[in-house]
């Protein structure tokens, strides 16, 4: 039976650490601010934005929301991003994805100042992650690494499989594991013998976006299984990319959905925003 890695508990610890640091900065007269931009009325995006606003309140970060109508043009959004880049109150800028189809997401991401890019999506920050000299990490992969660390799992020399190759999770996840001296295989929709590859792995990170995709026969006895997926079943229930009930009988460690990686993503966003504030103030740990 797997040991469950509780993301809610780890996220609460991370946020408590951020809150203490934010208060320390306030005592020096330094406020920390996060600007969140949402375009349109996507229900899932609204839930995420509300969660980020709540987290800011918890840790003492000033939250600035910019809710724009669906018909906002790309030029109008670029103008707002430019204003936020120049706004001294704002340490981090997050433009909630997905954007309406008429707006080029890459153009918006590229317009955000790398120093305020707390999602770590800008090519400048992606490049820094590649060489291991980064100020920010993408929030979800960073959250996964924090969960692995919290469980006392040593990654050096381990065989790790990442299922999924997105720019947001899969690719940076592989880089972070590599930085910890793991041997990393990235699997995707064109991978042959996926079951065979996964069943040899010491660590499996599932980020494929398919409900219950990873089954017990794909997992080695005692493996660490991290489930990044969030999928909604026909009955309305949430589930991950891993068949939790089946895999937990075989794995050594496993994250649940909900309550695993999800809470960590927002906690690491708070940590990134704090890091940006300290960088701007010239404060080094």
Please say if 15 is a catalytic residue: no
For the entire predicted model, the pTM comes to 0.95
Segment 36-55 shows an average pLDDT of: 94
Residue of 91, 96, 117, 278 with catalytic role = 96
User: φ and ψ at 90, to 5 degrees?
Assistant: -100, 120
Instruction: Indicate if the pLDDT at residue 285 is higher than 70.
Output: no
Of the residues 117, 119, 241, 243, only one is catalytic, namely 119
- Which entry of 52, 248, 250, 271 is annotated as an active-site residue? 52
Cα–Cα nearest to 176, from 126, 224, 222: 126
- Asked if 119 is an active-site residue, the reply is yes
Share of the chain above pLDDT 70, in %: 100
Give the model confidence (pLDDT) of 118-160 as tens digits: 999 999 999 999 999 999 999 999 999 999 999 999 999 999 9
What is the token pair recorded at 65?
A: 């929301």
Neighbours of 85 (CB within 10 A): 15
Which of helix, strand or coil describes residue 92? Answer: strand
Superfamily of domain 139-262: NAD(P)-binding Rossmann-like Domain (3.40.50.720)
Domains 29-113 and 139-262 share a fold: yes
Provide the residue ranges of all domains of the chain, joining segments of one domain with +: 29-113, 139-262
Topology of domain 29-113 in CATH is Rossmann fold (3.40.50)
Question: Which residues, in sequence order, are bridge partners of residue 239?
Answer: 231
Q: What is the pLDDT of residues 176-195, one digit of tens each?
A: 999 999 999 999 989 999 99
* Per-residue model confidence (pLDDT) at position 284: 81
- pLDDT confidence tier of residue 44, bands split at 50, 70 and 90: confident
What is the per-residue pLDDT across 46-102, written as a single tens digit (0 to 9) for each? 999 999 999 999 999 999 999 999 999 999 999 999 999 999 999 999 999 999 999
Rounded to whole angstroms, how far apart are CA atoms 166 and 208? Answer: 9
């Amino acid at each position: 039976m797997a040991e469950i890695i509780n993301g809610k508990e780890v996220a609460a610890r991370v946020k408590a650490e951020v809150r203490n640091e934010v208060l320390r900065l306030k005592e020096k007269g330094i406020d920390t601010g996060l600007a969140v931009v949402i375009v349109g009325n996507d229900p899932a995006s609204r839930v995420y934005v509300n969660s980020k606003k709540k987290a800011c309140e918890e840790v003492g970060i000033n939250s600035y929301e910019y809710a724009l109508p669906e018909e906002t043009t790309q030029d109008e959004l670029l103008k707002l991003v430019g204003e936020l880049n120049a706004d001294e109150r704002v340490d981090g800028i997050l433009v909630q994805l997905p954007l309406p189809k008429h707006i080029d997401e890459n153009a918006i991401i590229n317009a955000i100042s790398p120093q305020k890019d707390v999602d770590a999506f800008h090519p400048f920050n992606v490049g820094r992650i590649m060489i291991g000299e980064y100020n920010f990490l993408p929030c979800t992969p960073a959250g996964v690494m924090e969960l692995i660390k919290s469980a006392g799992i040593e990654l050096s020399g381990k065989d790790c499989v990442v299922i999924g190759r997105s720019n947001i999770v899969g690719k940076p996840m592989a880089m972070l594991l590599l930085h910890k001296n793991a041997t990393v295989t990235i699997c995707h929709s064109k991978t042959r013998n996926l079951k065979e590859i996964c069943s040899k792995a010491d660590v499996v990170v599932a980020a494929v976006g398919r409900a219950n995709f990873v089954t017990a026969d794909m997992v080695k006895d005692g493996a660490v299984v991290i489930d990044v997926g969030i999928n909604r079943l026909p009955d309305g229930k949430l589930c991950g990319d891993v068949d939790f009930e089946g895999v937990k009988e075989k794995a050594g460690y496993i994250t649940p959905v909900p309550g695993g990686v999800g809470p960590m993503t927002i906690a690491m966003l708070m940590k990134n925003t704090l890091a940006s504030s300290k960088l701007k103030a010239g404060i080094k740990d």
